[in-house]
Amino acid sequence: MTPVMAQEQVQGRKKARKNGIRTGIWLLVSLVVIVSGIASDIAPLAIEPVAVAAAFLPVSVEPGPDVDLDASIANLTTPPVSVSGTAMLVLESNRSRILFEQNSAITLDSSVSAKLMTALIASEQLKPETMITISSVTADMPDLAVSKGQPALKTGEKYSFEYLLLRLVFYDSDAAAVALAEQISGEESEFIQLMNSKAQSLDMLATTFVSSSGRAMMVDSDGADPTDTKGQETAPAATTLRDLARLVKAASQNKTLSSALTRRNEYLVLPGPTVISLHHQLETLWTLSEDRVSGAFFSNKSNAATVTFGTANGIAIITLIHGGRASEAIDDTVALYNAVGDSFEVATLVEAGDHFFGGQEQTVDGEAFGLIYLKTITYVRPKGQDYLDSAVQYQSFGPFTRPILSGAVIGQAIFKLLDGTTVAVDVGPDRQILSSVTLIDRALKQLQGNQNLTIVLLATLILLIIVLAAKVLINLTRLIKLSFLILFEIRSRR
């Protein structure tokens, strides 16, 4: 090896070490700046806890006397409405609040509750395509659906559960109800026990079922056996509109039954095959209500009853009318929807992200933080009134240890409406609480308090990345040239 080549190699090694040192320094600086740059994501959340006072909300009405939890909003603002029924009830279904009512707690003889309960239990246990064989008991029963153009159910025939459910809902069919009961329990008497058990689970404490269709049954004189058909007395089904409202809410939440209740008409293929059309008794109600009604059930037995669920002025409601005139069922229902729309509105209670000034929290090691609402919550109120109690309670879920992530539920703000309804709103921390008090955490906390410094460091990081990329490119170019020189030198020696 010539002295010149040896000198060049020594200079090359020195330059490589120098470049390596420079690259290492740049990488170290970049790592430090990258860690610092994390603070740019945390800094916007760094809001110092604010001292909070007792929470009071502005209200436009003077707080009235204590209101019974079962009292309706109607006790304070009664919508102008009258219907032909002897009893009625309108329920806000989201929070089960009674908007207004008339005789809703008196005991009624209504077949609607029995048929809806039968339909609900069947919808929970049977699939739409399930084929049901008609018994002689079912075939011998009088059935309103036949007078409406539906085929008479004959012993031994088979029909799908979907058809019998629609027949029950559209035409208030006693025979369809009995067929469903027999399919599930074998005998109607066994099914009645299942109905009463389900009623208890739905908190329908004032309801008693004696048949799957709501028809009166013969009982012993002492009332000991409501399924004994050899007795001398009749026992009708008993319920209240408040209990019926609970049942309708459960029915509207069942996918299969809700689908049947919301249909106006349907075409099905029956055994034969035969195509048959079904039309709801209140088919025009959907149009006349301007599609505010979503689902309906109508019974025109000894006491006409109309049940609907839908939306009025953005408010999800359930309407119940009992003892009305059948010819006015649609007009009565539309009047209730109009009354709700004219008298009530949906208002925003809190906005997600807004600060809750009714409380403050701290971690077990003493770091204090403020609270924000996690969700936007709305409520129904009479038009022109806040309808809120001025005081707001706070319930903590503490104590709290690190870390506390943004969006975590750490407590609830509890609002109270003037009818006694309470609304619990989840609250969370106004910023992310770091996992531990380490040297890095302390450094990041210092950066959290200076947003301008964080922005400068972020800009410096971007600049350093550009410079480092340029340096790498230059060194790579030099390395390639050096490789070519070495190859050229080797070839020249040959």
Closest C-alpha among 218, 261, 232 to residue 112: 261
Instruction: Please tell me the total number of residues recorded for the chain in this structure.
Output: 494
Q: How far apart are the first and last CA of the chain?
A: 14
- Cα four-point dihedral sign 106, 109, 110, 111: positive
pLDDT tens-digit map of 171-197: 999 999 999 999 999 999 999 999 999
**pLDDT of res. 45:** 35
Q: How far is CA 466 from CA 30, 470, 471, in A?
A: 11, 6, 9
Torsion angle, alpha carbons of 245, 211, 125, 243, to 10: 10
pTM, 2 dp = 0.72
What are the tokens at 244?
Answer: 């019926």
The two beta strands, 265-270 and 274-279, are antiparallel
Q: Is 47-68+349-429 a domain of CATH 2.40.50.100? A: no
Listed by start position, the domains of the chain span: 3-42+438-493, 47-68+349-429, 86-324
What is the rounded CA–CA span in Å between residue 329 and residue 308?
11
Give residue 129's pLDDT band: very low, low, confident or very high (50, 70, 90): very high
pLDDT tens-digit map of 350-382: 999 999 998 889 999 888 999 999 999 999 999
**pLDDT of res. 225:** 52
CATH architecture of the domain 86-324 equals 3-Layer(aba) Sandwich (3.40)
Give residue 77's pLDDT band: very low, low, confident or very high (50, 70, 90): very low
pLDDT tens-digit map of 388-438: 999 999 999 999 998 899 899 999 999 999 989 999 999 999 998 877 655
How open is the CA angle 85-91-97, to the nearest 5 degrees?
A: 135
Angle between helices 174-185 and 188-201 (to 10 degrees): 90
Closest C-alpha among 424, 417, 413, 343 to residue 387: 417
